Structure 1
Amino acid sequence: MKSNYSLDDLRCFCSVARLGSFKLAAENLGMPLSTLSRRIRQLETDLQLRLLNRDAHRVSLTHTGQQYFERSSTLFDELSDIGEDLHRDKHEPKGKIRISAPINAGSQFLRDIFLEFLQQYPEIQLDLQFSNTLIDIEAQAMDVVFRVGTPVVENWIARPLKDIHFIVCAHPNYPVQAITHPDMLGEHPSILCHPMNIWQLAHLKNGQTFDHQPAKAIRMEVDEIRMLTHAIQAGLGIGYIPDYYALPMIEQGELSRVLPDWRSKPRTLFMLYRDRDHLPMRVRLFVAFVMARFGQTGKAHQPDKQAIHE
C-alpha cells in the first residue's frame, strides 16, 4: 500500500519520542518548536492515528505511537549509520580497494608499489586479482584496473604509466645470426606466451614493420613470463619477451637477442579508475600514490581502441 505520510515527518516524530521533549527535539533538529509541533500533528492526521499524549508537564507515547517508534527508529538509525559509513569512505583513508592487473606487469612494476602503499596506509586493504584475461570490471566491482594496450572503458579515466617494448629472444647457443629478417621466424620452433599471439615488430632505423604470428612448430603455450623464459633457456624455441624482463638476462648471458635491430612499437601500461571527484578517499590516495611512483602528473589519456592484458 502506498504511504500517505512524510518520512521526514516520521523522522521528527522519532526525535520527539527518543528525547521525550518537543523542545529538545526541535533543538536537535534545528527547527522552530512551532514547526515541529505542526509536523507531528500533520503526521497524525495523515496516519489517522494518535501517536503522542501531550500535557503541560511531559510528552508520552500512545500504545500505537510506541509501536511506530520501535519499528521506525531502527530505520533512521540504519540510515544514520549508512551516512556515517559513506562519510568515512569519502574522507577517511580506510577500507578495501579491489584491483585487477596483468600477471606480468603486475608482478614486475606494481608489486613493490602495492606493498609500499599498504605500509604507508595501515587501515587500507588491497584485494588484488592478477590475470591476463580481460574481465568485466563493472561486474567484478573493481576500483582500479591496470591494462596494457589502449583501453576503452566507458566512464573510466585511463592514465598512462609506462611504455613497454617486446623483443625476440633465444637460448644463448642458438644460431641467431642466421635469422636476418622477421619473415624467417616461422622457420624456427617457438614458445607462445598469451595474450601476445602476434609478434609485432618494427625496425629501429628504417621504421619497417612486420607482424609474425607463430603457427608452426609451437613447442609450448603459456601465459606467464617466467615459464616462457625457462622454456627458452631450455632450448625449446624462440620467444617474444618484454624488454624490461629480457635485457638484464641478455646482459648476464642467460638469453640471446634475435633480430637486434627490431622490437615492438611501444605498448603502454595504463591505470584505469572512476571519476576522481566521486572516489572514496582510499582510492584517491592509491591513484595519487601510483602516479607519483611512475612520475606521471599529466592529463588522462583518451583512447580509441580496445586494450589487452600483458
Structure 2
Amino acid sequence: MDRLRALEVFVAVVARGGFARAADALDTSPANVTRYVAELEAHLGTRLLHRTSRRVSLTEAGEAYYERARTILDEVAEAEAAATASASGARGRLRINAPLVFGARHLAPLWPRFMALHPEVELDIALTDRIVDLVEEGYDLGIRISRGGSQHYVSRKLATSHNVICASPDYIARHGTPGTPADLARHRCVVYGYAPEPETWTFLGADGAEVRVRVGIRLRTNSGDTARAVALAGEAITWQPDFLIGDDIRAGTLVPLLPGWRLPDIDILALYPSRRHLSAKVRLMVDFLADAFHGPLHRWEAAG
C-alpha cells in the first residue's frame, strides 16, 4: 500500500463528502478510492469512516486521524514547495491562534488581502483569549499581546500598543477625577481577569519610577469589550490598549486620566514554535502582518 497516497485519498473522501466525489477530484475510479480506504483501515486496525448509502462520516478514531493526516499532507506540500519553488509557491493549511478582540478588529480585515495574494494557502483561524500551547494544540503561528515576550517560542514584534487609563465624561462629572494613582483605591474600576495581578495597577511616573496601587473594584471581566462598554456607560474607570479604545479617545466618549503617569506599553507579537522549521507559509504570514501593521491603514494611537 502506498501510505502517502492512502492518506491523500482518505483526506479527499472526508473533504469532498463521499467516495465518488473524491474519485473525481483525484482523477481516479471510485473502486480505487474504496480500495485505498479499506487498506488504510486494515493497516491501522480500526474503522475511520461510517458509511451509509447517502453519506460518509468520521468515527472518533477517524476524526483524530484526519487532522493528523491533513497536517502530514500539508508538510509534504511545504517540503515540495521549498525544494522546487520560491516562497511564493507556499501552500497548505496555516493554523493561527489570536486574541479574540484584536483578532476580530485588526486581523480579520487583513485575511482577504492575504488570501488574494496566496491562493494556495488555506487559513484556519482560531480566536480565543485563553493562552494556548501552540505545539500541543497544533498551531503554526500565534499572535500574542504581551509585555514580556515569550521564553518558549520564537517571536517577532509586529506593533506596539499603549495602555490608557480612562473614563467617560459622565463618570468624571459624577465621581470626580483621580489626581494620583493612589486615588484609584477610592474609585470604581474595571479589572481585567487575565492580568497577572488584576487588582493591582502599575504606573510609570515622568522619571520612570514605578508605582503599584490597589484599585477599587466595580467589575471583573476577561473581556476588553465588556470593560470598554462599562466605561462608556459611565459606571467605572478602566485601562485598555489603544487598539481597542483609540477611536473612543479621539471622539471624546472616553477621557484619558492621570496626566504625567503612564501604564507600561504592550507589544503585538507573532510567535511560532522554535523547534519547528519556519515554513514558507509561516514566513509569508509573519512578513505580511509586519508590513500591514507598519502601514498607514493601521494607526490606532489614542493621541499624538
Which of the five TM-score ranges fits, normalised by the shorter chain?
0.5 to 0.7
Distance in 1 separating the partners of 2:282 and 2:106: 19
What's the counterpart of residue 179 of structure 1? 178
Residue 106 of structure 1 and its aligned partner are, at CA, apart by 2.4
Distance 1:86 1:95, change over 3 A: closer
Is 1:210 the counterpart of 2:211? The answer is: yes
8 Å Cα contact 2:177-2:257 kept in structure 1 = no
Distance in 2 separating the partners of 1:284 and 1:241: 30
* Secondary structure of residue in 1 paired with 2:244: helix
Whose Rg is larger?
1
8 Å Cα contact 1:89-1:282 kept in structure 2 = no
> Where do residues 3-152 of structure 1 align in structure 2 (5 Å cutoff)?
85=77, 87-88=79-80, 90=82, 91=85, 92-149=89-146, 150-152=148-150
The size of the alignment, in residue pairs, is 214
Distance in 1 separating the partners of 2:275 and 2:287: 10
Residue 271 of structure 1 and its aligned partner are, at CA, apart by 0.8
Residue 172 of structure 1 and its aligned partner are, at CA, apart by 1.0
8 Å Cα contact 1:161-1:271 kept in structure 2 = yes
* Secondary structure of residue in 2 paired with 1:122: coil
Q: TM-score, normalised by structure 2?
A: 0.62
Distance in 2 separating the partners of 1:89 and 1:262: 51
Distance in 2 separating the partners of 1:180 and 1:111: 39
Give the unaligned 5+ runs of structure 1.
1-70, 76-80, 297-310
Distance in 2 separating the partners of 1:117 and 1:86: 18
RMSD: 2.9
Distance in 2 separating the partners of 1:194 and 1:114: 29
Distance 1:84 1:224, change over 3 A: closer
Distance 1:129 1:213, change over 3 A: farther
Distance 1:114 1:213, change over 3 A: farther
**What percentage of residue pairs aligned between the two structures are identical?**
24
8 Å Cα contact 1:171-1:255 kept in structure 2 = yes
Is 1:221 the counterpart of 2:213? The answer is: no
Distance 1:212 1:118, change over 3 A: farther
8 Å Cα contact 1:199-1:240 kept in structure 2 = no
8 Å Cα contact 1:276-1:284 kept in structure 2 = no
Residue 145 of structure 1 and its aligned partner are, at CA, apart by 1.0
What's the counterpart of residue 166 of structure 1? 163
Distance in 1 separating the partners of 2:145 and 2:127: 13
Q: Choose 110-119 or 264-273, whichever is displaced more.
A: 110-119
Distance in 1 separating the partners of 2:207 and 2:77: 59
**Cα displacement string for residues 233-275 of structure 1 (whole angstroms, at most 9, x for unaligned residues):** 2222111111233343123121122213222122211111245
What's the counterpart of residue 250 of structure 1? 249
Distance in 2 separating the partners of 1:269 and 1:133: 16
8 Å Cα contact 1:182-1:212 kept in structure 2 = yes
Query: Relative contact order (alpha carbons < 8 A, sep ≥ 6): 1 or 2 greater?
Result: 1
**Cα displacement string for residues 72-107 of structure 1 (whole angstroms, at most 9, x for unaligned residues):** xxx9xxxxx979645346454221111111223323
What's the counterpart of residue 291 of structure 1? 290
Give the unaligned 5+ runs of structure 2.
1-38, 44-71, 296-304
Distance 1:280 1:180, change over 3 A: same
Q: Structure 1 counterpart of 2:227, which letter?
A: L
